[in-house]
Chains A and B, each alone.
Chain A
Amino acid sequence: MIHAWKKLLLLIAFATVLVLAACGGDSDEASSGNNESGSDGEGKTIEFMHLWPEGSSKQHYEIVEGIIDEYESNHSDVKVEVEILSNEQYKEKLKVLSTSNELPDVGMTWAAGFLEPYVSGNMFASLDDLLEGPLKDKFVPGTAEAYAIDDTTYGLPLELNITPLFYNKAIFEENGVEVPETLEEFKQVVQTLVDNGVTPIALGNKDRWTGSMWYMYLADRIGGPQSLNDAINRTGSFEDPSLVQAAEELKSLVDMDAFLNGYNGLGNDEAKGYFINEQAAMYLMGSWDLPEWTTNEDNPQEFRDSIGYMKFPVVEGGEGDKDSFVGGPGVGLFVAENSDVKEEAKDFVSFFVEKWGEQSVEKAGVIPATKVDTEGTDLPQMYVDVLNDLNQASNITLYADVQMSAAVAEVHLDMIQALFGDAVSPEEFVKEQENALAQEE
């Protein structure tokens, strides 16, 4: 009996060694592979991971392929090896790769809050030298800054989004209302539409960031861009009167039935459906939706023609001006800190950002984070208008949930849903967020 157990233990030990050996062999191979790509003077390989598969993002994919081809033909000694995953898988894989310290040399990241854990884990390289050098003054102010932590930039943005208030001109005309300039006029428009049995605003607040944009604009128009930013970066407080007032204004819109019935249970895509089906008059959404209103053949031409956009109305006596936008950079590129080909990777990133800026608007309907000259480009009018607005923007306030750390963002988003759902008072709304922010200090 004892003899048998000894044998069993021995077998387990043996098997464990086998399994471990297999794992070990794997990582050995991987690291030797890295060395080859790194130190071999002749051919260098930059591993590049992005999230635009040919199937779902054809235009993006093709631009990337084009840029890589061009780069490789300029640098005969460098090869770019691409790995492509779709959005959610990409995020998952990035997390896993970083825990085992095997990030690709160049990859994609998002700004501020997303970046933070990676930077604190010392995974991303500083890109300050690119911003000082070849890419100096190429970016729209405020975009690259969103990728900075403690004054060091760890990513370079590829996209920039602002959030216009889209509206249906046909519905406005039918109901005899004009584009409002002020919040008072805006409320009158809402009231008229409600009285006529038209849903004024499509909103899918299940996703919560959608409702957050409404709050952010009201806070910006009442307290100016500083009040919300200061509350988040702790030079101010979330209990600032202007932030309470913004919550009160939002609540009064809710009480007027300004938003689509059942918004707290509807996802953003469902809410967008109401706007596209012309069941709602207005829709506040990022400029990433521009192709939807201009070039997307799935939507009828007549509908696309009837969509216009306005800047968010100002509040009388408020600090914020009409040219201030809620928005922020979308995805950006990072270089891995432990990359074997760091210099080449940085050079590639710099090349990529510039080429992307030149091509992405026209070919993929992306508003790049680099400055765009609209002269001589063949773009739908709405793009030209948005790009021009962007060039004249007095301020762009980064989406609140992106600015905040993940834990605080969660509190903010929950509070947004609670405020919309009448579950908290404006005072409780600011208090909870102030507490969460204060706790993190």
Chain B
Amino acid sequence: MNKVMSNKAVIALYVLPALILIVGLIYGPMLLTGYYGLMEWNGMASMTFVGIENYIDLIQDPKFWESAKHSFLLAFFSTLSLAGYLIVSLVLAGKIKGSDLFRKIYLIPMLLSSVAIAQLWIKIYDPNNGMLNSLLMSMGVETPPSWLADTNLVLYAIFVAILWQYAGFYIIIYYAALKGIPESLVEAAKIDGANPIQIAYKIKVPLISGVIKVTVVLAIVGSLKYFDLIYVMTGGGPNGASEVIASYMYKKAFDTFDFGYGSAIAFFLLIITLIVTWLTRKLTATEDEVQY
């Protein structure tokens, strides 16, 4: 067996199918997108090579930067919300009554499709018959805002729905990591007289720091390319107030038949995401990994 596995040709043979799939289905289309970004093309008629014109237009396109700003805002709030999810997980992983039930409740949004979640929140935000405004009115607010029509509020209204959508995902990751901490460490801390907050802060969180780093990268990357709830709930409107990079790309490529420009946006998004991922990893890198 050892002899076979040290044979480079055999290794190559084993790797090959996966390699072909990855190159053909992931890296190939990626490069192709970058290539289309150099074209003026409506997706049907013949392409015209225009060089980096699309990318120059992109840099000068205020609508693009507006949507990029929204994407980064989402990334910021998603990262921030991780702290909240971590606290919830710490509580759930402790031995409290009903933690099992709560875990299931937090997990429910993960079981729903994005479109269903979008419909649900559209109903909640309905300005006249919706749950939220009915509640506000019963509390004495006379003219509650129309959440999805108000250009100042719409972005945050959608963020709430997105954060809700992903809560279960991160909570389950943290929960699993916390459950992996050896009980003996916590016991030892208890004997030394540490209170639960100290245990959480000084023992548990440092021990799962590797997982936390992964979730930070996931949250940021996921936010930058986020698309579905926004597309269904507002389509990026009203007037671009909730437009993000991915929805802007879709609009350009498929609604206005500007495939070249859409591809340029997509490729630009890829580059931004790569840079941000690299930066995040750099910033959160620590010298020594915790061992137990």
Contact = CB atoms under 8 A, between A and B. Distances in A.
Contacts of A206: 148, 234-235, 237-238
A121 B149 contact: no
Given A15-B20, A117-B45, A118-B44, A417 B126 contact: no
Contacts of B151: 421, 423
Contacts of A5: 8
Contact of B127 (A11, A121, A265, A410): A265
Q: Which range holds the interface residue count of chain B? A: 35 or more
Given A264-B148, A266-B126, 4 more contacts: A19-B24, A199-B128, A205-B238, A267-B122
B9 A265 contact: no
B154 A120 contact: no
A5 to B, nearest CB: 8
A414 B239 contact: yes
B209 interface: no
A265 B256 contact: no
6 contacts: A98-B44, A117-B45, A265-B149, A406-B256, A421-B151, A421-B238
Contacts of A390: none
> Taking chain A's interface residues, is the majority helix, strand, or loop, or is none over half, making it mixed?
helix
A19 B128 contact: no
Interface centre among B44, B151, B257 (most CB of A within 10 A): B44
Task: Say which size band chain A's interface belongs to.
Answer: 35 or more
Q: Which one of A5, A7, A262 has the greatest number of beta carbons of chain B within 10 Å?
A: A262
A54 interface: no
Interface secondary structure of B, over-half rule: loop
A267 B232 CA distance: 10
B44 to A, nearest CB: 4
A365 B126 CA distance: 31
A410 B258 CA distance: 12
A244 B238 CA distance: 22
Nearest to A120: B45
A21 interface: no
Nearest to B125: A265
Given A1-B8, A206-B234, A414-B240, A260 B44 contact: no
A12 B128 contact: no
Nearest to B17: A15
Closest 10 pairs between A and B when the two form their complex, measured CB to CB: A262-B146, A265-B148, A262-B127, A265-B149, A4-B8, A264-B149, A264-B238, A8-B12, A121-B45, A262-B149
Contacts of B8: 1, 4-5, 7-8
Given A8-B9, A418-B239, A270 B126 contact: yes
